[in-house]
Structure 1
Amino acid sequence: MNKRTKSNALWVTQTAIMIALIVVVQATTGGMGQFVTGSLVNLLLILTVTLAGLTSGLTVACLSPIFAFIFGIGPQFPQIIACIMAGNAVLIVVWWLLLGKLGHQQYPRLIAAAVAGALLKFTVLWLLVVQIVAPMSDNIPAPAKQNLAKMFSLPQLITALIGGGVACLVIPQLAKIFKRQPANRKATN
């Protein structure tokens, strides 16, 4: 098996494991509310980009809202799925850009990624869902629009901060366990 084939197999394996973890978390915690499920999903998204790389993180970030929709977790309006994908992708990219090759045991960078990622994800979701998509969607009844405004405002910031905060504690420990930097940051990733 050549190096590229091994790299592709590793990517598929890591991505599949993280997708499976997201599915299990969503399926088992869906009834526990937005703060539990959302915080755990944000943590897993962050761990994916940190451990498996940018493309794996973006893949899981885009598949997560599809599975949530299938499981009946969160809003059951298909047009909201793309908004959640965008918010998740922003979270992933922020973590990737702020941590880069500088290492994951630098707490100031971890904290900056947690705060910036949460703020930007919250902003993207609030703008897309509350300000643009929900108001323009005729198939969303007024009470559901009010509920979406509640779901995609402060709770999104809180769940992203919780997920990021836990990630700040977990990532350095995982780096020690793996005895390497958690993500493969080659140009092909």
Structure 2
Amino acid sequence: MQDRKPIRWLTRTALLLAVALVVQSLRLGGPYGQLITGSIINGVIVLAVSMVDMGAGIAIGLLTPWVALVTGIMGLPFMVPFIMVANSTLAIVYGLFKRRHRLLAAFLGALAKYGFFVLTTNYLLSLFGKQLPPPAVATFGTTQLGTALIGGMLALFIADTITPAQRGGGQ
């Protein structure tokens, strides 16, 4: 019998990516649009690491900002690579610590993502001759910490409510 792991990986990753892209495509505006969309996308990244593997979370974290750019959702094209790295940081840190303590892993992943954005907005952008307006600095600061924390908690709740059989036995 043929090994089905690659097919299972691709199917699960694609399904979670589809969820993230649907939420992103809603283009929720208003005062809570970024909070809702960002929290769900961060949640999908953490859920992908929980239910598939770290590579799935990284893949989703890399693709969502790029899709936001090409569909016109993202208004700051020079930030896309930084968002991709920040999303990957969330996936990697959560993935490295999830076996020890999932809640702590979600917190550390959110903190690492936030830390990368603080580093980016305060130092890295100036190396490239770019600067963010003050509202955008807030968007890539504490707002990101909040959405990553909420997303992590949302992902842990969903992962805990899905039975092992529905998860594929955790494989």
- TM-score by length of structure 1 reads 0.79
Cα distance between partner residues in 1 of 2:128 and 2:139: 17
Is the Cα–Cα contact under 8 Å of residues 80 and 129 in structure 1 kept in the other structure? no
Q: How far 1:83 moved relative to its partner?
A: 0.5
- Report matched runs for 1:26-105 at 5 Å: 26-32=24-30, 33-74=33-74, 76-100=75-99
SS in 2 for 1:34: helix
Compared CA separation, residues 179 and 157, structure 1 to 2 (3 A): closer
Cα distance between partner residues in 2 of 1:179 and 1:34: 29
Is the Cα–Cα contact under 8 Å of residues 22 and 44 in structure 1 kept in the other structure? yes
Whether 1:111 and 2:103 are equivalent positions in the alignment is yes
Equivalent AA in structure 1 for residue 136 of structure 2: L
Cα distance between partner residues in 1 of 2:169 and 2:105: 16
Cα deviation, 1:33-52, whole Å, max 9, x if unaligned, reads 21111001101111111111
Is the Cα–Cα contact under 8 Å of residues 13 and 52 in structure 2 kept in the other structure? yes
Is the Cα–Cα contact under 8 Å of residues 43 and 164 in structure 1 kept in the other structure? yes
Q: How far 1:147 moved relative to its partner?
A: 2.7
Compared CA separation, residues 66 and 30, structure 1 to 2 (3 A): farther
Task: Tell me what 1:105 maps to.
Answer: none
**Once superposed, what is the RMSD of the aligned Cα atoms?**
2.1
Q: How far 1:136 moved relative to its partner?
A: 4.1
Cα deviation, 1:19-75, whole Å, max 9, x if unaligned, reads 21111010114325211110011011111111111111111110011112233334x
Compared CA separation, residues 156 and 181, structure 1 to 2 (3 A): farther
Cα distance between partner residues in 2 of 1:34 and 1:131: 24
Cα distance between partner residues in 1 of 2:23 and 2:165: 23
Is the Cα–Cα contact under 8 Å of residues 97 and 104 in structure 2 kept in the other structure? yes
Equivalent AA in structure 2 for residue 147 of structure 1: P
Structure 1, unaligned stretches of length 5 or more?
Answer: 103-108, 185-189
Compared CA separation, residues 130 and 175, structure 1 to 2 (3 A): farther
Q: How many residues were matched structurally?
A: 169
Q: How far 1:118 moved relative to its partner?
A: 0.9
Cα distance between partner residues in 2 of 1:37 and 1:89: 17
Task: Tell me what 1:21 maps to.
Answer: 19
- TM-score by length of structure 2 reads 0.87
Name the % identity: 28
Whether 1:178 and 2:170 are equivalent positions in the alignment is no
Work out which of the two has the higher radius of gyration on C-alpha atoms and give 1 or 2.
1
